[in-house]
Amino acid sequence: MSSDRPHFNRILLKLSGEALASEGQTIEPAMILRIAREIRSIHDLGIQVAIVIGGGNIFRGLQAEQFAMDRVMADHMGMLATVINALALAGTLRATGIHALVMTAMEIRGVAEPFIRDRALKHLEKHRIVVFGAGTGNPYFTTDTAATLRACEIRADALLKATKVDGVYDADPVQVPDAKFFPMLTYTEVIERGLKAMDLTAISLAMEQNLPIVVFNLLKEGNIQKVVTGKSVGTLIGGKGK
């Protein structure tokens, strides 16, 4: 059916670490399996899929002060947390019958391949799912920025940011029930309004490279497939002006 044809050839999916978690469990088996099946649904459409995953369900570098440690060391811990999540997701994807692998910005021999752009492109062209771990490999940069950077490097057609709400609002819709929802925004509007879509570095890089971003609700089953087949889901961020 033409309505179900993918609008993208290659996408990068940004997942938070919290997406894998549930109360009392750092990684919830049922949740990670559901996410893997959702990813398979778009992989089966012929779309090349790369993924960047956070580590907030295990450790965040911003917790450095709570542990009275250096921020750089804390960020390294956060990067390693993303590798654990990346391995968990890749392993679950394999269990669904997909060839998936992990590439990391920090060299971890015997665990994952180091990130090499040309090699990542070859994996994607062979219809393998690549899960990028360890962020950018540098402290002080978020996984939002890592996702945008990797999306640009692999020439993704779009960056899909999965969240727990329906898209971008002018306030937290969980705390503010009448928060305004934005179905479409320009990069400039996100920056000028101070909207919490992605961090400033990520949005600025996306704007520079004209990389479309779709922010959508991961908790609603089938949303990933709706996004890639052009359905009106979430918030589309793109364009430099009205």
Question: With 60 as the cut, is the pLDDT of residue 175 above it?
Answer: yes
pLDDT digits (tens, 9 = 90+) for 133-164: 999 999 999 999 999 999 999 999 999 999 99
Per-residue pLDDT band at 119 (split at 50, 70, 90):
very high
Per-residue pLDDT band at 121 (split at 50, 70, 90):
very high
What string of DSSP letters covers 151-217?
Answer: HHHTT-SEEEEEESSSSEESS-TTT-TTPPEESEE-HHHHHHHT-SSS-HHHHHHHHHHT--EEEEE
Instruction: For residue 93, give Cα distances in angstroms to 32, 43, 86, 147, 228.
Output: 9, 11, 10, 19, 19
What is the mean pLDDT of the segment spanning 76-86? 95
As a whole number of angstroms, the longest Cα–Cα distance in the chain is 57
Question: With 80 as the cut, is the pLDDT of residue 23 above it?
Answer: no
Whether the CB-CB separation of 237 and 186 falls below 8 Å is answered with yes
Whether the CB-CB separation of 223 and 217 falls below 8 Å is answered with yes
Residue 78 corresponds to which tokens in the numbers above? Answer: 């956060």
Residue 43 corresponds to which tokens in the numbers above? Answer: 């992989």
Residue 21 in domain: yes
Domain with 83, as residue range(s), is 2-237
Question: So what's the pLDDT on residue 67?
Answer: 76
Nearest residue to 98 (alpha-carbon basis) of 165, 36, 6: 36
Per-residue pLDDT band at 21 (split at 50, 70, 90):
confident
Per-residue pLDDT band at 115 (split at 50, 70, 90):
very high
What is the mean pLDDT of the segment spanning 110-116? 96
The whole-angstrom separation of Cα 164 and Cα 216 is: 8
Whether the CB-CB separation of 147 and 202 falls below 8 Å is answered with yes
Per-residue pLDDT band at 59 (split at 50, 70, 90):
confident
Neighbours of 84 (CB within 10 A): 20
Question: With 50 as the cut, is the pLDDT of residue 241 above it?
Answer: no
Per-residue pLDDT band at 22 (split at 50, 70, 90):
confident
Nearest residue to 40 (alpha-carbon basis) of 129, 148, 136, 166: 129
What is the mean pLDDT of the segment spanning 182-195? 95
Residue 242 in domain: no
Q: Which residues contact 56 (CB under 8 A, 6 or more apart)?
A: 16, 17, 18, 81
Domains of the chain: total: 1
The whole-angstrom separation of Cα 189 and Cα 64 is: 32
Residue 167 in domain: yes
CATH number of the domain bearing residue 190 = 3.40.1160.10
Residue 198 in domain: yes
Question: So what's the pLDDT on residue 63?
Answer: 73
What is the mean pLDDT of the segment spanning 83-90? 97
Question: With 90 as the cut, is the pLDDT of residue 51 above it?
Answer: yes
Mean pLDDT of all residues belonging to the chain? 92
Question: So what's the pLDDT on residue 151?
Answer: 98
Whether the CB-CB separation of 10 and 48 falls below 8 Å is answered with yes
Question: So what's the pLDDT on residue 24?
Answer: 67
